[in-house]
Amino acid sequence: MATIWRILKRHGEVVPQPQKRPKSSFIRFEAALPNEMWQGDTTHWHLADGSDVEILNYLDDHSRLLVASVAFPTVKGADVVQVFYAAAEEHGFPASLLTDNGAVFTGKSRKGKVLLETELETLGVVFKHSTPYHPQTCGKVERFHQTLKRYLAKQAPAQSLAHLQLQLDTFRAYYNHHRPHRALTSRTPLVAFNARLKAHPAAPQPPTHFRVRKDRTDLKGTVTLRYLSRLRHIPLGSEHRRRLVTLLVAGRHVRVVAEDGALLRELTLDPARDYQPLGRPPGPPRLGHHDVRQVATIS
């Protein structure tokens, strides 16, 4: 076949297209350990009434474990972070994350950073991006989208987003726990995920409890958060009244994020205050007269 191709090329019967590489020339990559790398991507689907929705999937590269599959009307910057934290709380943080160059994943094309990028930097998770117009880099999650859609096509069309999420949850349980995977020597993803020690971010993880919650600010632009069994009030300013926000909570450290991923406020909660000061991080405790005299005596 190669000889015939060279003869045709010599006589100008075929035009070489070096940008089209044969499949055999691609090098298959597979992470050596679970949580060494996750792949993340979004895909479109339609509800019964024809409305377009998006599904956000995170997949472990080594075991193909589907760590998250969540439906949204439109996936936004805060959504990819919220789902990532929820998946990490269940399965542990990955050492790295691979995505395409979608606007919810990276702000590189806009010469900036989106929320996911800053969060991963804080966690010590290495962020990798596929080459533009080269979907093979994220091949495992792209291939998974096909498997998921074949399953959804056999189900009754989802009447609502909640109905679709139920279908996704059902498929995720079946896919992870019961469906043998050819690439895993007929093991299930969950068996492959639990068969080896897990990788983790290179940076040490602080012993902090992470949580994510959505809320709406009140008429004064204040959002509330329960900390140490007491309700804390976090003002954002009247210009943010009645606004939907996402709170990323790591111990006392709180980030308040808009639906588009914009950071509205970042603060460290002062446990002594129910109402946190606006725009000022809590400072050291104020010294009383007795404390001042004591400091003066020591110095």
Classify residue 157: in a domain, yes or no. Answer: yes
The greatest distance separating any two alpha carbons of the chain, rounded to the nearest whole angstrom, comes to: 99
Taking only the tens of pLDDT, the chain with its 299 residues reads 556 656 666 666 656 555 554 544 444 567 899 999 999 999 999 999 999 999 999 999 999 999 999 999 999 988 999 899 999 989 999 999 999 989 999 988 787 888 899 889 888 999 998 765 444 556 788 989 999 999 999 999 999 999 999 999 999 999 999 888 776 677 999 999 999 899 999 875 555 677 888 999 999 999 999 887 789 999 999 999 999 999 999 888 999 999 888 899 999 998 888 999 986 444 444 444 444 344 333 33
- Residue 227 sits in the same domain as residue 113: no
Q: Which CATH number do you get for residue 43?
A: 3.30.420.10
pLDDT digits (tens, 9 = 90+) for 217-272: 999 999 999 887 789 999 999 999 999 999 999 888 999 999 888 899 999 998 88
- Residue 181 sits in the same domain as residue 104: yes
Number of domains in the chain: 2
Instruction: Name the E strands within 35-172.
Output: 38-46, 52-60, 66-72, 96-99, 126-129
- Residue 255 sits in the same domain as residue 121: no
Classify residue 144: in a domain, yes or no. Answer: yes
The residues facing 42 across adjacent strands are: 56
Classify residue 11: in a domain, yes or no. Answer: no
CA distance 264 to 95: 28
- Residue 125 sits in the same domain as residue 215: no
Question: What's the domain range around 253?
Answer: 210-268
Classify residue 24: in a domain, yes or no. Answer: no
Q: Which CATH number do you get for residue 258?
A: 2.40.50
Classify residue 282: in a domain, yes or no. Answer: no
Looking at 169, 194, 219, the residue that finishes a domain is: 194
Classify residue 254: in a domain, yes or no. Answer: yes
Structure token pair of residue 179: 């469906």
